Structure 1
Amino acid sequence: MQTINPQKPVIFIQNLDHYFGTGKLRKQVLFNINLTINTGEIVIMTGPSGSGKTTLLTLAGGLRSAQSGNLQILGNELCNANSQQLTQARRSNGYIFQAHNLHGSLTAIQNVRMGLELQPKITAKEMLMQSQKMLEEVGLGDRLNYYPDNLSGGQKQRVAIARALVSQPKIVLADEPTAALDKQSGRDVVELMQKLAKEHGCTILLVTHDNRILDIADRIVYMEDGHLVREESGSLQGIGT
Structure 2
Amino acid sequence: MLTTNPQLIIPDEQKNNQVVEIKNLDFYFRSNNIEKQTLFDINLTLKKGEVVIMKGPSGSGKTTLLTLMGALRTANHGSLKVFGKELIQANNNLLIETRRNIGYIFQAHNLLKSLTARQNVQMSMELHPEFSAKEVKERSIAMLQAVGLGDRINYYPENLSGGQKQRVAIARALVSHPKMVLADEPTAALDSKSGRDVVEIMQKLAKEQGCTILIVTHDDRILDVAERIIELEDGKLK
The CA deviation at 1:197 is 1.1
Q: Which runs of 5+ in 1 are unaligned?
A: 230-241
Residue 96 (structure 1) aligned with residue 111 (structure 2):
no
Residue 37 (structure 1) aligned with residue 46 (structure 2):
yes
Partners of 2:119 and 2:32 in 1: CA distance: 45
The CA deviation at 1:85 is 1.4
Tell me the residue number matched to 1:11. Answer: 20
The CA deviation at 1:8 is 2.8
**Which 4+ runs in 1 deviate beyond 3 A?**
4-7
- Please give the per-residue CA displacement for 1:210-230, whole angstroms capped at 9, x wherever unaligned: 11111100100100000001x
Matches within 5 A, 1:88-237: 88-229=97-238
Tell me the residue number matched to 1:234. Answer: none
Partners of 1:15 and 1:6 in 2: CA distance: 17
Report 1 or 2 for greater relative contact order, CA contacts < 8 Å, sequence distance ≥ 6. Answer: 2
* TM-score, structure 2 as length reference: 0.92
Q: How many residues align?
A: 226
- Please give the per-residue CA displacement for 1:37-85, whole angstroms capped at 9, x wherever unaligned: 1000111111100000000000000000121101000000001112221
Task: Determine what percentage of the aligned residue pairs are the same residue.
Answer: 65
Partners of 1:91 and 1:222 in 2: CA distance: 27
The CA deviation at 1:23 is 7.0
Tell me the residue number matched to 2:29. Answer: 20
Tell me the residue number matched to 1:69. Answer: 78
Partners of 1:145 and 1:136 in 2: CA distance: 12
Partners of 2:31 and 2:168 in 1: CA distance: 39
The CA deviation at 1:7 is 3.8
Letter in 1 for 2:72: L
Q: Which runs of 5+ in 2 are unaligned?
A: 1-12
Partners of 1:199 and 1:93 in 2: CA distance: 16
Partners of 1:191 and 1:142 in 2: CA distance: 20
Letter in 2 for 1:105: S
* TM-score, structure 1 as length reference: 0.91
Would the aligned equivalents of 1:51 and 1:226 in 2 still touch at CA under 8 Å? yes
The CA deviation at 1:120 is 2.2
Q: Aligned with 2:124: secondary structure?
A: helix
